[in-house]
A and B are shown apart, each in its own frame.
Chain A
Amino acid sequence: MTTFETFAGTPKTAIQKRPVRLPSLSRDAVLPYLLPALLVVVWQVGSATGWISDRIMPSPTAVLRAFWETASSGALANDIAVSGARALAGLLVGGSIGFLLGLANGVSKLSEQLTDTTLQMLRTIPHLALIPLVILWFGIGEEAKLFLTSLGVLFPIYLNTYHGVRNVDRDLLEMGRIYGMSGWTLFRKVIFPGALPSIFVGLRYGLGIMWLTLIVSESIAASSGIGHMANNAREFMMTDVVVLALLIYAGLGKLADVVARALERRALAWNPVYQTQKEV
C-alpha cells in the first residue's frame, strides 16, 4: 500500500533504520512488472534483428511512434473519450439494472419467483451472439453498443448481488430485527453492507465483460472509438496502430480494475481481509 512512497520518497535516515524491510518492499513494487518489461525487451530485440517481421508485429518503438502520432493529432484522446463514455454508460445502465434485480430477488421471494428463472435462461445466451439481431434492431448507432455492453455487465452484477444478499449472516439479520430494524434501516445497516463484498466481485467481473463487449461491438460497427481505430488501421495495414489499440485496451482495463480495487478497499475497510492485504 505504501510501497511506492517508501520506494521513492523516504529520506536516507529512515532507510537505514529499517534495513530489513526495504528490500522486500521494493521487490513487491518491481516484481509484477518484471515479466511485461522482459517481454517488451525481447520483442524490441526480436524486431531490431529482423527475427520478428514488421508485418506480423511492429517493434515497440514503432508502436510508440504510432502513439505519438495519434496522440498529437488529438485523434487518440477523442477515441479514448468516446470508448470510455460508451463503457461507462453500459456499466451504469447494465450495472444498475443488475444491481436492482439482484437486490429485489435477494430480498423478496415473490420477485425471485417471478424473474430469476427468466434471468437464468437469458444469462446462458452468449450476449455477443445477439449482434446480428441488435444490428437489425438498432442499426450500427450508439444504441447497439449501449445495449450489448449493458447486457454483458448486467448478469455478473445481478448474480453476485443476489448471491451476496442471500448470504447475509442470518444471525445478524435476526439481531437487526430484534433490535427494531426493519425495511430501509435493515437494508442500509445489515443487508447492503453484508452483500457488498460479493457485489464488488460482480463489479470487477462485470468490468472485464464491459471491455470485451465494447471491443467486439466497436470493431464490428463504429465510426469512432478505439475499436474503430484498430479496425480502420487494419484496412490500411497499419499494424502499429492495431497493436497500440490493444495496449490501450489493456491499460484501460487495468485502470478500471485499479479504481474498483481502491473503492473496494475503502468500502470494505472493516473487513480483516482488506486490513492486511497488500496491493498486488
Chain B
Amino acid sequence: MLIAPYQHPLAFIAPLETELDPPATRATVPQSEARHETPAQPQPVALRLRNVEKRFGDNRVLRGIDLDLEAGQFLAIVGKSGCGKSTLLRLLTGLDTPTDGHIGFLDGDGREMTSNARIVFQEPRLLPWFDAADNVAVGLGPTTSKVVARQLAEAALGDVQLAEKAGEWPSKLSGGQRQRVSLARALVSRPGLLALDEPLGALDALTRISMQKLLSRVWRELGATAVLVTHDVAEAVHLADRVIVLEEGRITLDLPVPQPHPRRHGDPELAKLEGRLLAAILGEA
C-alpha cells in the first residue's frame, strides 16, 4: 500500500510491502503459496533448446543440445569442470548467443519472448560502496525511482532474512550473508528465470545447507523457472525437479527428481538418485 500511489510498473510487488510479520514467519508454506497464486505474479519462462552448439575457435564446448524445460521447473546441470555447464547457463540467460541452433524463451502462451533472466554468481559480486539494500536495488535496473527501489530492496532483503542488515556495508557481512544479498538482488525484480551459477560453491558446509533451504523456499515463493549449475550432486538432487548431466558438451543423463518440495536432507529416495547420478558422472571417467 505504500507504493500504490506511484503506479509503478512493479507495483505488483505490493503484497510484499504489506507483510509486516517478522522474517522468520515468512518461511511458512501457506503464505508462500498464497503469493504463488497472485495473478500479478510474473510469468515463469519455459525454455526450448534445439540443436544448440557453442564453439570458441576450434573448441566445441556444447554439441547438439536439445532440451525442453517447463515453466516453473527447477533444473540442475551437473558435470565435471570444463564440461560446458557454465557456458550452457550463459546461453540460457541470454548473456551469450549459441554458435548454432536455437534457444527459445517462451511465455505462458508458448510465444517467444526476450529473456528476463537474473543471475546469481559464485561470488556475491556486491558493490562494496553501496549498502546491502542499495546493492539489492541494483537488481531493479536504473528506471525504478529511488524511494520505490529502496522499499522493494528492503522487502527482498526480508525475503532472505536479512532485513536488519539493510544499511550495512558488504564488507561487514559474512560470506553467507553476502550471498543472500546477491540472491535478493536477483529476486527483487521478480524474474521469470533465475540462473544460479554455483551460488553456494564458496560457502562452508553448514551455511550451504541453510542456503539450500532458503533457495528452495525462495524459488517456490517466486514461482520462477530456475536453472542451477553445480558440481555438488547432493545439492542438485535436493533442490531440482530434474537433473541433467553434461559430459564433453553433451547431455548424457536426464534424470527427473519426483520428490515433492520441501525436501529433507537425508531422504533415502534422494540418496538413491544421488548415487545414480554420481555413478553416471564418475563411471565413464
Contacts and interface: CB of A to CB of B under 8 A. Distances in A.
Contact of B128 (A174, A175, A181, A270): A270
Interface in B133-175: 138-139, 141-142, 169-171
Contact of A270 (B125, B139, B169): B169
A275 B171 contact: yes
B171 A179 contact: no
B127 A185 contact: no
Nearest to B128: A270
A271 interface: yes
Given A193-B129, A270-B129, A171 B121 contact: yes
A209 B138 CA distance: 39
A265 to B, nearest CB: 14
B235 interface: no
Contact of A179 (B129, B138, B169): B138
B123 interface: yes
Contacts of A172: 125, 127
B95 interface: yes
Interface residues of B, number: 19
B184 to A, nearest CB: 13
A56 interface: no
B125 A171 contact: yes
B170 to A, nearest CB: 8
A269 B141 CA distance: 25
A254 interface: no
B142 A180 contact: yes
B119 interface: yes
Contacts of B129: 193-194, 196, 270-271
Interface string A153-188: 000000000000000000110111011110001000
B141 A180 contact: yes
Given A171-B123, A179-B138, 4 more contacts: A190-B127, A270-B128, A271-B129, A272-B171
Interface of A: 171-172, 174-176, 178-181, 185, 189-190, 193-194, 196, 269-272, 275
Interface of B: 93, 95, 118-119, 121, 123, 125, 127-130, 138-139, 141-142, 169-171, 185
